[in-house]
Each structure stands twice: as C-alpha cells, then as structure tokens.
Structure 1
Amino acid sequence: MDQLKKVKVNTLLIFIFSTLIYALCQLLFSIILMKEDLWTNFHIQLSAHYIVILAMCIADYGLLLLLNKYTRNILYRIIAGLTGLTIICLVLLGAFNFMIYNVFNVSSVGMPSFLVKFAFAMTTNIPILLAFELIYYFRSEQKAIADSEKAKREALLFQHETLRAQINPHFLFNSLNVLSSLIYVNPENANKFTKALSKTYRYVLSLNQQPLVLVKDEVEALHFYMFLMKMRFENCFTFLLEKTQLADKHRIIPLTLQLLIENVFKHNIATEDSPLVIKVIIGKDLLVVQNNIQPSNDIDKAGIGLKYLTRQYALYGRDVVVEDNGQLFTVKIPYIEL
C-alpha cells in the first residue's frame, strides 16, 4: 500500500512539473509571438497559462478515455481526436474570453483575434493529446506483455492441475470398474473402452505447454471421452453435437469441452427414467454446452470446474457466459483469436 501511494505521489509531482514547464514554454512562445514585455505581470501570465494547460490536460484525458471506449481504429481515432480537440479549444477559448473581457473587464484593444487565439490553442493542445496517446500506447504494450506472460504461467498451471484431476483415483477407479465388468460381459466393448481411455490420456499428455488448442482437436478428443461416459452411464444420458465446419480452426483453452461435460455429470443425476440431455453447439462465434438440470445431492466440490475455466478465459480478455433458468443450464464459451 505504501509503495502504491509513493507511486501515485511521484506521478502527481511529475505531472505538475511537466505541465508547469510546458506552460512556461507556451508563455515564452506567446510573448515572442505577441511581442509583449516578458517581465510585465510575469507571475499572472504564467498562472493564466498554467490554468489553460491544466484545463487542456483534464479535457484531453477525458477525450482519450472516450476514444479508448468507443474506437480502436486509427483513422477514426484521428478524426474523432481532431474533432474533440477543436471542441475543447472552442469551449476553453469562449470561457476564458468571457472571464477576461466580461468578468475582469480587460480591454480587447490590441489583443489578437479569436482566430489567432484558436490556432495557438490548437498548436498547444495537439501535443498534449499526442503525449497522452503515447503514454497510453506504451502502458498498453507493457500490460499486454505482462498479461501474456501471466497467461502462459496460468496455462501451464492449468495443464498440471487438469492432468492431476484426470488421473485422480476416482476417475481411474470408475474407469477400471467399467473395464473389468466389460471384460466378462462384452470383450469387444472392453477393447474399445481401453482404446478410448488410452486416447483420452494421450490427448491430455499431449497438451504439455499448449495454452490453446484447435476446436477440431477438442471435438475429436471429446468423442473418446463421451464413449467412456457412454460405457459407464449407458442409457442414462443423451449427447447431441451440432458443429459448424468453419469453427474447426478457432482456438479454445485445452480440455474446455471435457471439463464442462464432466461438470454436467458431477452436478446432476443421470438415470434411465430421468436421462440427462447434453447438447454441444460448435457455432460460428461461440461454443455452447447445454444440459437439463437434475441436481445431485452428492456433489464433489474438488477438482477443476467452471470457475477455473472462467478465470482462464478472462486472462485472454474473454467472458464466459453462464445462464441458468431453472430448467436448462447453459455455458457459452468465446473463441480466442491470436
């Protein structure tokens, strides 16, 4: 906290010093341009110029916030920036002219025209906005680099945690139980189950140091995982997959689909009388996982679930949307474009 307060104080001091120097430079420039006496009411002139510069800084900062909120296009930013600067200069000039001529009753004789003042104000104001733009650009670059490194670290942690979750005793115990029963009842399905289990683990192990994967790879791995679930739950659920071909080349967090499906089984009851209906939609803009709600009383709170996925996507500036209307539970996953 003390360090943060120190940084804020230093930033404020730098801002005050910078604006004071800039005001002094503008004062000297205006005195040379207007051919006035440098030492006549120097402190009053410097104070007036500093107030103008300070007002411009505040207005330009507000303009920068608006530009950042509504547009990232360079051409639009230039047009909107120049328009904003024009409005700011006109408003400030009008306000200061009113103060000088109407409030303080200073004579306008010998004073420069409004057009000259406006041109001078624009040449003064443009560098201020450019300085703010440069500061914003460099800070954005630094933040992007820091976020990228954080995302890589979090992605590696995610892979380790996911791998540990997939090979936990419960998962192995359930899989081996199903396999042992199939060996005697249906050897052919036992063989298929073994291959699907092997491919599921092989996919998990292949994710080492991969922060993102293609949707088509996730869907392919999901088929093996759903086969395991089908052998385990048999006719207790229905799985539907709708896929847009164009979505195959989009990227998502590894094991997103598997974790969401696992979340469905973990939090719901699946029986032949009340089967779960799980629907996965691989759309053009979003990946959607939806299921009917049949709450389970015995919910395993451990493991990786929706909250962790939400955190992972937030690292890339994407929001995971969760909708629960009491009958359907829907999770909408955004694609991550590099």
Structure 2
Amino acid sequence: MLVMLPLAFLTYEIGFDYAHPDLKKHVTNELVTALVVDLILVGIYEGYYFFTLWKNSLIRNEQLEKENLAARYETLKNQINPHFLFNSLNTVSALIHEDPNKAEDFIDEFSKMYRFLLEHQDKNLHLLRDELTFVKSYMDLQQIRFGRSLITSIAIDDKKLDYLIPTLSLQLLVENAIKHNKVTVEKPLSISIKEENGMIVVKNTLQLRAESLKSTGIGLNNLNARYEMLASLKPVFLKSDKEYIAKLPLIQEE
C-alpha cells in the first residue's frame, strides 16, 4: 500500500491538467488523507503483529518457568520418600538389637504407612486432616520404640482441617525432633502440634544428643524450597534454650 502512494503522487504531478483552480487542492487533500489512513492501518497492523509476538513470548516463558519449577519440585519430592525410608530402616535396625518383638511390630505398622505414602506420593499438597492422620501414625510408630520416653500431642481446630500443607512436612519435623534429641525415660522428649494464627506450630523440647548424627542434607532446606515453589510462603524456625519451634503456613485451596 505504501508503494502505491508515491505512484499516486507522481500521477498527480505529471498526469493531470488542472484547469480548475480547486482541483489540485482537492486531489492533494484526498491523497494526504489516504496517506494518513494508510499509515494508521499499517501502524495498527505492525503494532498488533509485535504485540502478538510479545504475548507469545511471555506465554512461552511462563510455560518454560512452570516446567522448570515442576522439574525442580519433582526432584525435591523424590528426595522425601528415600529419606523417610532410610530413617525408618535405621529405626528398625536399632530395634532389632534392642527388642526383636518391637521390631516386628514396627515393621507391620511401617508397611501400612508406606502403603499410604505410595498411594499419595503424586500429591504436592495434602489436606491438613490427611497429613495429621499420617503424622499421627508415624508418632504411634515411634511410640512402639520409645514407649514412655516419648510424649506427643495434637490439638487442631476442626475448621482448619481442610487447609493444605506440603506432603510429609509434619512427619519430617517430628522425625527431625526424634533424630536430634535425647529420648529417655529420665528425660522424655515432648512433641506437640497445634494451630496458631493460620500456622501449624510443631514444638519439641530441646535436649540435643551429645553424639554427632549423620545428616542426609534433606530436612529444612527441602521444606523451605517446597513452600517457596508451591505458595511463595516461608516456614519459620525458632530455637530457644529449652525448645525448638517450627511454624508452617497453612495454604488455602484455590
């Protein structure tokens, strides 16, 4: 279209005999109008074209970011099951030497828990009610080993049970408390789970073991990363001379 306009002006200059004084002015106005309209239409077309390219680029970048986050989260999630299995097998190993009968009971309960875990492993988030059921089973499992040396309690308002929380997050905190602290009849380990101001608070008495324990490097860093990726939220971890406190934000289902 822009190529035709110079040809029109060339025709205008050499191809007409303007006998009437207003004819040239009239033709000039028509050509200028045509040029302006042409420029506007071309501008709209080019603008729409580049807007479409920009929009498609944003969509593609967003898709790539989602795929990247999904891949990263899958990596984090795949760390959890082996971590849980590894620590449970360590517990069985200890129980076999301490009390073979308890070891047998532990294995029976553990098989039930792991079946539940396998059935729900594809979920990034769990309803709080389901996560509490799982962690309650886990604490009962530990009770087989420690008996009166372990004191646990759960107090959650029913209204909060349909909120969401990262899968196995509560179990991970309870596991860490048992792993890093003394659990004896003389000095029982106390672990409590409750809700405060939209956060699940997991609190345990702080009585660190003297011996150095091996760490797999999973734990709290994994939990922090999962929260950030799932809901752009951050857990809170606090430690005093007597207690260790973890606060996990509850996530509302969309």
Name the TM-score class by shorter chain: 0.5 to 0.7
Q: Which has the larger radius of gyration?
A: 2
User: How far apart are 1:266 and its partner, in Å?
Assistant: 1.7
User: How far apart are 1:199 and its partner, in Å?
Assistant: 2.0
Aligned to 1:22: none
Partner AA of 1:294 in structure 2? Q
Count of matched residue pairs:
197
Aligned to 1:131: none
Task: Supply the distance in 2 between the matched residues of 1:279 and 1:143 (Cα, whole angstroms).
Answer: 44
User: How far apart are 1:174 and its partner, in Å?
Assistant: 2.2
Aligned to 2:76: 158
Aligned to 1:299: 213
SS of equivalent to 2:203: strand
1:211 aligns with 2:124: yes
How does the TM-score come out when normalised to structure 2?
0.67
How high is the sequence identity, in percent, across the aligned residues?
A: 23
User: How far apart are 1:245 and its partner, in Å?
Assistant: 0.5
Task: Supply the distance in 1 between the matched residues of 2:169 and 2:199 (Cα, whole angstroms).
Answer: 13
Give the 3 Å change call, closer, same or farther, for CA 173–294 of structure 1 in structure 2: closer
Aligned to 1:30: none
SS of equivalent to 2:155: strand
Partner AA of 1:257 in structure 2? L
Which of the pair is proportionally richer in strand? Answer: 2
Q: Deviations over 1:286-321 (max 9, x none)?
A: 111011111123222215211210111111210111
Task: Supply the distance in 2 between the matched residues of 1:270 and 1:255 (Cα, whole angstroms).
Answer: 22
1:288 aligns with 2:201: yes
Aligned to 2:67: 149
Aligned to 2:88: 171
Partner AA of 2:251 in structure 1? I
Task: Supply the distance in 1 between the matched residues of 2:56 and 2:176 (Cα, whole angstroms).
Answer: 41
Aligned equivalent of 1:319, options 231, 234, 238: 234
Aligned to 1:335: 250
**Which structure is higher in RCO with an 8 Å CA cutoff and minimum separation 6?**
2
Task: Supply the distance in 2 between the matched residues of 1:249 and 1:138 (Cα, whole angstroms).
Answer: 37
SS of equivalent to 1:167: helix
Which of the pair is proportionally richer in helix? Answer: 1
CA RMSD of aligned residues (A): 2.9
Q: Deviations over 1:12-35 (max 9, x none)?
A: xxxxxxxxxxxxxxxxxxxxxxxx
User: How far apart are 1:138 and its partner, in Å?
Assistant: 10
Q: Deviations over 1:22-66 (max 9, x none)?
A: xxxxxxxxxxxxxxxxxxxxxxxxxxxxxxxxxxxxxxxxxxxxx
Shifted more, 196-205 versus 251-260: the winner is: 196-205
Partner AA of 2:183 in structure 1? A
Task: Supply the distance in 2 between the matched residues of 1:224 and 1:157 (Cα, whole angstroms).
Answer: 26
Aligned equivalent of 1:258, options 168, 171, 174: 171
Gapped regions of structure 2 (runs ≥ 5): 1-54
How does the TM-score come out when normalised to structure 1?
0.52
**Contact 2:92–2:107 (Cα < 8 Å) also in 1:** no
User: How far apart are 1:196 and its partner, in Å?
Assistant: 2.1
User: How far apart are 1:256 and its partner, in Å?
Assistant: 0.2
